[in-house]
A = this chain, B = another copy of it.
Amino acid sequence: MISENVTIYDIASEAGVSIATVSRVLRGETNVSEATREKVRKVIDRFNYTPSSIARGLTSKITHSLGIILPKLLNPHYAMIFAGAQEEARKFGYTMSLFSWASLDTDAYNPAAMLTERRLDGLIVCVEYVPPDHDERVHETLKALQRAMPVVLIGCVPPWYDFPSVAYDNASMMRAIVGYLTGMGHERIALIGGVEEDRDPRRRDVGYLEGLRDAKLPHISSYRVYGRATAETGKEATDELLESLKPEYWPTAIIGLNDLVAMGCLESLREHGIRVPDDMSVIGCDDLFCAPYLYPALTSINTHQQQTGAQAVELLISGEKKHEIMAWELMERASCAPRKR
């Protein structure tokens, strides 16, 4: 039984106290006599009264609502980040609203206004996949936003080092992947997906090169195929790779920038009659829920997405201004095998 129209005045008059007193018991202040507290509690329960967070927000300046800006949720990677953030926020009594980069594209709509008018207590922004042509505009928007509310970034790229952030250790992940593959004897390793002009100095590209260098392997640029991090890209790029190269120059292992890319890659290889992992190894990154159910089960890097979201919320709430790096974990499955001699 919820009564929407009862206010603090109703409770106060019914309990025979002032609204200040009701407010005190509501907020759990200690300087209220046990008797009064009890009396007020009873009335609150009887009326099933819930204070308005709106009115509360007007005076106290804190709204207990957070926002998060994410790319489209089609990639479950972001859904997981969101889920982790929402759950963590809830634990602290905060509500989480989603805003998306897609919205930022619309000029008719002013995202900064929508965000500030909400008077959020904090904002999480995933900057990893901000379209390059929006970079400057987005940066400007965020700097401005930061004056109105704390902002925590997911991803840590220039020119935003002045924002607290929680980021994936992209380069080290990729270096480890290359190490994993070279450890199995692979020497021709392709990497598909990502943009050439990525502004992250520790992007996956970098780890790829480090990994090759670790194994004293040459960098063959034909093996580095750029493109959007989607399954379509994975498929097309793999097609292209296979068709543009004589078989003896084919890579023996392909890394997908993320699992989506790897999925498309598997599909292409299947169509070309190339067996995975017998003829070629494939590895992804993000460890989407479906990775174990692909064929063959996809080896990938678990990036702890839910914890990432939760961590961002913690930074937001604690106000700590640090740069966190998430741990990651290699999930060995069936799609990688030692290179055939």
Residues on A facing B (Cβ under 8 Å): 1-4, 50-55, 57-58, 63, 65, 67, 72-74, 76, 79-80, 82-83, 86-87, 90, 93, 95-100, 102-103, 109, 112-114, 116-119, 144-145, 147-149, 231, 263-264, 266-267, 270, 288-290, 292-295
- Choose among B58, B147, B270 the residue that contacts A2 (Cβ–Cβ < 8 A): B147
CA separation between A328 and B72, bound complex, in Å?
A: 22
- Choose among B58, B144, B288 the residue that contacts A55 (Cβ–Cβ < 8 A): B58
- Name the residue on B nearest A116 (C-beta): B50
Oligomer copy total: 2
Residues of B within 8 A of A96 (CB): 97-98
Q: A86-B98, A294-B294 are in contact. Are A2 and B145 (CB under 8 A)?
A: yes
A147 in contact with B293 (CB, 8 Å): no
Residues of B within 8 A of A98 (CB): 82, 86, 96-98
- Name the residue on B nearest A263 (C-beta): B293
CA separation between A41 and B100, bound complex, in Å?
A: 28
B73 in contact with A83 (CB, 8 Å): yes
- Name the residue on B nearest A147 (C-beta): B2
CA separation between A330 and B231, bound complex, in Å?
A: 22
- Choose among B73, B102, B264 the residue that contacts A80 (Cβ–Cβ < 8 A): B73
Q: List 22 A-B contacts (CB under 8 A).
A: A2-B148, A4-B116, A51-B117, A52-B58, A52-B117, A53-B117, A53-B119, A73-B82, A73-B83, A74-B289, A79-B82, A82-B98, A86-B100, A90-B99, A90-B109, A95-B114, A95-B118, A97-B98, A263-B293, A266-B295, A267-B293, A270-B295
